[in-house]
Amino acid sequence: MSITAPQGFRAAGVAAGIKSAPKQDLALVVNDGPLDVAAGVFTSNRVQAAPVVWSRQAVSDGRARAVILNSGGANACTGPEGFADTHATAEHVASLLEVSAQDVLVASTGLIGERLPMPRILAGAEAALAALGAGPEADESTARGIMTTDTVPKQASATTPSGARVGGIAKGAGMLAPQLATMLVVLTTDAVVCAADARAALREATRTTFDRVDSDACMSTNDTVLLLASGASGVSPSLEELTEAVREVSADLARQLVADAEGASHDVHVQVTSATTEEAALAVAREIARSNLVKAAIYGNDPNWGRIVAAAGCVPESVAPFDPADLAVSVNGVQVSRGGGVGESRDLVDMTPRECLIEVDLGAGSACGDIWTNDLTHDYVEENSAYSS
């Protein structure tokens, strides 16, 4: 169970005919309350899809009753007509549920620059409403409704010590998703929580999970992470407890996103330690995670510390103070570089596991930070060049 593991939620995924293939492509999640608390975080790309513009505004009051999501079309760069389509979708779901359109959030993923097939979206919403349910089947069908190039549905759940539940579904991100790797995530909880705490828990949880997945440095126009709270458990966990459960579900989903980067042959975990600040550690980790030369070397099972050190050196000193002569780099546990130079033999490194751990010690302080990415493979190039979009 995932998205309907918390009490008070029903969900469904249906095949509405938006995708060319007859697969689930529309999902609906309804919060039956008693609470209708909601929070969201969205892409920081300045080019924002219509559903992002809509949902950001609609969730700003901390309330929502439902989320409708579609794959097969991003509704981005579609102008005022595209925004009207999102608005009409929210209105339609609102009328079906007899709630205000402002309480219906919308998320889309797929091609940029094309209008959605609105008759199919609106008919699909009705079909999804009729199919709403709770339980493993409803959860998986809902998770499938938002898949694009994902090969498996992504679901997770957790329970706070006090007994409140958190569930979630996610799609995308795999660096190999051709459509800018949009990440859509819906999290649910039956905790009794106010809007401010829901927002705080979501922001803190995403900061150390989804924000640290950097598959190919390309930020989508549609990224959306939502948290809905029903209060149906009657349990009021502390903010710390709730945040930890939301973080646990988010971390699980984020790891699934990395693992489903089709064609990637390694999941790469870049851990930077002994930094002056967490921001400095993350800046170095991100620079390494974004280096095509590092990523291609890992694909070639080459623990190429020279490329790792050179990537670290590209971070300005004002951002991450460290002395290059103090750097140490370990790959899968073997310290192949120390003191800024040669360390253990790179022949000692076993690069065959799918998970590759790169540890960089800056020797400058006591803060740390990590980023997950994937290697750069032939299949990445193939998937992002051979299939036009």
Binding residues: 148, 171, 182, 262, 384, 389
**Which of 234, 292, 345, 355 touches a second copy (CB under 8 A)?**
292
Residue 250 vs 384, nearer CB to a second copy: 384
Q: Is 364 in the site for a second copy (CB under 8 A)?
A: no
Q: Which residues are annotated as a binding site for substrate?
A: 148, 171, 182, 262, 384, 389
The values of phi and psi at residue 190, to 5°, are -100, 15
Q: Is 55 in the site for a second copy (CB under 8 A)?
A: no
Of the candidate spans 31-39, 56-64, 88-96, 373-381, the one that interacts with a second copy by CB under 8 A turns out to be 373-381
Q: Tokens representing 172? A: 């995308």
Q: In the sheet that 328-331 helps form, which strands lie side by side, from edge to edge?
A: 341-342, 334-338, 328-331, 355-361, 267-275, 367-374
- Placement of tokens 């990224």 in the chain: 223
The runs of H, that is alpha helices, within the chain are 50-58, 79-97, 118-131, 136-145, 195-207, 239-259, 278-289, 292-299, 305-312, 378-385
CB of 303 to a second copy, least distance (A): 9
For residue 109, give the DSSP letter.
B
Residue 209 among the catalytic residues: no
Q: Is 259 in the site for a second copy (CB under 8 A)?
A: no
Round to whole Å and give the CA distance between 370 and 40.
Answer: 23
The values of phi and psi at residue 22, to 5°, are -80, 75
For residue 348, give the DSSP letter.
G
Tell me which residues in 297-326 interact with a second copy (CB under 8 A): 297, 299-300, 302, 304-307, 309-315, 317, 324
Of the candidate spans 9-17, 128-136, 254-262, 288-296, the one that interacts with a second copy by CB under 8 A turns out to be 288-296
Count CB-CB contacts under 10 A for residue 246. Answer: 29
- What are the DSSP calls for 185-219, one per residue? EEEEE-S---HHHHHHHHHHHHHTTGGGB-SSSPP
| Size of site (CB under 8 A) for a second copy | 62
**Which of 70, 75, 142, 337 touches a second copy (CB under 8 A)?**
337
Task: Kindly name the residue from 43, 149, 182, 243 that is annotated as catalytic.
Answer: 182
Q: Which residues contact 329 (CB under 8 A, 6 or more apart)?
A: 305, 308, 309, 335, 336, 337, 338, 343, 358, 359, 360, 361
Tell me which residues in 143-182 interact with a second copy (CB under 8 A): 178, 180
Q: Is 217 in the site for a second copy (CB under 8 A)?
A: yes
Tell me which residues in 96-115 interact with a second copy (CB under 8 A): 111-114
Residue 45 vs 100, nearer CB to a second copy: 45
Pairing of strands 224-229, 267-275: unpaired
Q: Is 192 in the site for a second copy (CB under 8 A)?
A: no
**Which of 221, 233, 256, 374 touches a second copy (CB under 8 A)?**
221
Binding stretches for a second copy (CB under 8 A): 45-48, 74, 76-79, 82, 111-114, 178, 180, 216-221, 290-293, 296-297, 299-300, 302, 304-307, 309-315, 317, 324, 327, 337, 339-342, 376-378, 380-382, 384-389
Which positions are catalytic?
182
